[in-house]
Chains A and B, each alone.
Chain A
Amino acid sequence: MITLTPKKEFRFPVIAECINPDIFHDKTTKEIEELKIWEGNKQKMLGELFKVEENRTENPQEREAITINGNLNKVRRIGAGMKSGEIIIHGDVGMHLGEEMKGGKITVHGNVGSWAGSMMKSGTIEIHGNVSDYLGAPYRGSIEGMRGGKIVVYGNVGNEAGAYMKNGLIKIYGNAGQFLGLRMRDGTIFVEKDSGGRAGACMKGGKIVVGGFLESVLPTFTIDSIKEKVKIEEGETIAGPFYLFIGDLVENGEGKLYLSKEKNPHLNHYERLL
């Protein structure tokens, strides 16, 4: 197991895509210290910014793991493109965590910046804290959203979570910001608590489940029925009842928006349309 500890409080953005179990794999501590890393506009070595310690264990799974302790909120692109292994972070992390991730697992005990799990294809990200905007959303302008994998957040998330999502699962146990699942095509987003406005704007497919309060449903959604329960993933079903809305009709969409009936009494006027 490799443990990294920042040697100082970073003032400039650090682009750390080299912190990746696939790259660390089969490298000695010295080789890891010599990996290239950008701090602001200067290229440095990993060993100059982080203290690298190796704890030898025989368990092959643990050997692949990277643990980082400390404040990393200026450190970007940790675990970008990783295919296997595990990263455990105790502290806050900056933007683009696990961007284009293809496998493995990232666990964060702290808060995370924007674009976490951006464009991810597979693997798992678990965040025990809050997340900023664009969770699982693609890079600006791109339509290649999340293709697979799973993101679990135990705190709140910002705006545009799951934008352009094509597959996979996002579970949020806190509140979500505005434009949840913007332009999503497929996949599932579950929010246990409240959601900001305009949930599911321009969605074409997929499923959004809001267990809490949503101020209003977009006028381009139409009510379909009331469901007693809804399936989130294999083996997990949430009991309702839920209002089921279909939309976004502006895009000829067939996305499903489930809203808790109990938490949204202001939407009961839709019932007479059933």
Chain B
Amino acid sequence: MELLIRNGFVYDPINGVDGEKMDIAVKDGKIVEKVNERKARKIDAFGMMVMPGGVDIHCHIAGSEVNSGRLLRPEDHFRDFERKTAVTRSGVGYSIPSTFTTGYRYSRMGYTTIMNPSMPPLEAKHTHEELSDTPMVDKASYPLLGDWWFVLEYLKDGKIEECARHVAWIITSTKGYAIKIVNAGGLEAWGFGGNVQSLDDQIPCFCITPREIIRGLCKVNRLLNLPHTIHVHTNNLGKPGNYITALETMKCIEDLATENKPIIHITHCQFSAFKGGDWRTLESGAEEIANYVNAHSHVTLDMGQVIFTDTTTMTADGPFQYTLYELSGNKWVNHDVETETSAGIVPFHYLRKSYVHAIQWSIGLELALLIKDPWKIFLTTDHPNGGPFTSYPRIIAWLMSRKAREATLKKINPRARSRSLLPSINRELSFKEIAIMTRAGQAKALGLKGKGHLGIGADADIAIYNLNPETIDPSKKYRIVRKAFKRAAYTIKNGKIVFKNGEIVKHLDGATMWLDVKVSEPAKISEDMRRRFREYWTVECENYPVTENYLEISQPINVEAKV
């Protein structure tokens, strides 16, 4: 099918197009130079904004953890439901919507690619089953390897190359996309009721420190040529004073950086940017982190913005979730994924009038505004930890309009307001910068070649928003901007119009991307490894890998490793 999008204001930062009026031609799911004008279906995008389809680098949308969250929170479902239509299925859930609804809601906002950031290798099959049931978007998942026993052992012995081969095996067999590290070493310690307090704490039984794990996996990542960097959830997350840990994490691999390329992604950085001795004296550490990131080029971040709403926190960081449980007194799920990792879930309500929550809200925005280069910081809420992904338009409005920020500042805790840096920040992002933070930058950081841009040969994933950049002043009319980003005028996936006039018009299953890492000499499944699987896992080594037929639409990406 051929498609021609005419006269839209195109924002394509990767190809240097900034709001120019031009036509976009699509043929067979790809962007092409031109199409037969008479035959092609035409979309009149006059007075509208054309962007690449949105990319979300970090959102918990599938897997056993998310599903436990759904089970834990019936009250999250009964107020927010969607009826079935001729093309869509019904679904429920506000902060943790059911799989189909997740896909539809992303598509409604013009998003076409999303990344599920935490997949315990043991739960890979479950995760992929849910991802296959998340329609309208392409997706991928990051296996949790920061506390994976074999990785810890290889790193302890300094066997980086063997470790790389093993990681290649585990990424390919779990059909993963990147190396995810959550509270490196802390989850292993949590198995014994402990945690690590700094990068140089020893992990019980392994004689290794978080610093060595992060450095080791960073080297492994480079040896394997993986498209994304290591994806790190820092140690001490959610504790006052942890901005020092975040800075140390970035510093600890500074010497490994080459060619000004990013080698680490610090995810949901807001939760790692707390300054102060305790909750009463909590302050924002955004300025320090922003100064560091502005001066270095080996880091990318995402915001992890907090929204004042009732949401569900879920991470693999068991000890952090325990702290949250103690703070809130809410119901709590604590889960130990056999030898691999832990997980915790606590429902959480962020309140405007709470000092700590208001400071958190402020930190997220400060980070996004103080970091000068939008290619280094991306818009997320760490869905659903900071708030559901459906609140992205609200964040866009805050970033684009000082007035919008002031309107919210007026309503928050007065002590937090007086300590917030936001009143001193005049910066208002442009549409181009928003396009970078919500799609182009994320696609670039993920190394997705066909996503996040509208150049010839790119995937025809396009979002058209009903906003005219020539007539609208986003800093004053932020409500209109918010509304437009909430509901795209058109969403085009694989060259097909899937969302139009406020309705899903076509159901489309997205592909699951995974890395087929080719190493010169594949990792050996040793007898010792088999024995350990038999002794410590509920699943035998042979049954462990996810076979390709598990994925509804499999899209392997070939990676040639250096080992």
Interface residues of A, Cβ cutoff 8 Å to B: 138-144
Contacts and interface: CB of A to CB of B under 8 A. Distances in A.
Nearest to A140: B74
B330 A141 contact: no
16 contacts: A138-B75, A139-B74, A139-B75, A139-B78, A140-B74, A140-B75, A141-B72, A141-B73, A141-B74, A141-B75, A141-B76, A141-B331, A142-B74, A142-B75, A143-B330, A144-B75
Contacts of A143: 330
A142 B72 CA distance: 10
Contacts of A142: 74-75
A143 B330 CA distance: 9
A236 to B, nearest CB: 33
A76 to B, nearest CB: 13
Nearest to A142: B75
Interface string B67-86: 00000111110100000000
Interface residues of B, number: 8
B74 to A, nearest CB: 4
A138 B331 CA distance: 15
A95 to B, nearest CB: 13
A142 B76 CA distance: 8
A144 B349 CA distance: 12
Nearest to A138: B75
A141 B330 CA distance: 11
Contacts of A141: 72-76, 331
Nearest to B78: A139
B399 to A, nearest CB: 32
B14 to A, nearest CB: 44
Contacts of A144: 75
Given A139-B74, A141-B72, A141-B73, 10 more contacts: A139-B78, A140-B75, A141-B74, A141-B75, A141-B76, A141-B331, A142-B74, A142-B75, A143-B330, A144-B75
B349 to A, nearest CB: 10
Contacts of B73: 141
A141 B78 CA distance: 11
A140 B73 CA distance: 8
Contacts of B76: 141
Nearest to A119: B75
Nearest to B72: A141
A66 to B, nearest CB: 25
Interface centre among B74, B75, B78, B331 (most CB of A within 10 A): B75
Nearest to A144: B75
B162 to A, nearest CB: 47
B325 to A, nearest CB: 14
Interface in B39-78: 72-76, 78
Interface string B360-397: 00000000000000000000000000000000000000
Interface string B534-562: 00000000000000000000000000000
A217 B103 CA distance: 51
Nearest to B71: A141
The 8 closest A-B pairs by CB, nearest first: A142-B75, A141-B74, A141-B75, A140-B74, A139-B75, A141-B73, A139-B78, A140-B75
A14 to B, nearest CB: 18
Nearest to B79: A139
A234 to B, nearest CB: 29
A143 B73 CA distance: 11
Interface centre among A139, A141, A143 (most CB of B within 10 A): A141
A143 B76 CA distance: 11
Nearest to B75: A142
A61 B20 CA distance: 63
A138 B72 CA distance: 15
A77 to B, nearest CB: 12
Interface string B251-293: 0000000000000000000000000000000000000000000
B311 to A, nearest CB: 14
A140 B76 CA distance: 10
A92 B74 CA distance: 28
Interface string B320-339: 00000000001100000000
B93 to A, nearest CB: 12
B98 to A, nearest CB: 16
Interface in B66-117: 72-76, 78
Interface string B394-419: 00000000000000000000000000
Nearest to B76: A141
A205 B435 CA distance: 51
Nearest to A204: B329
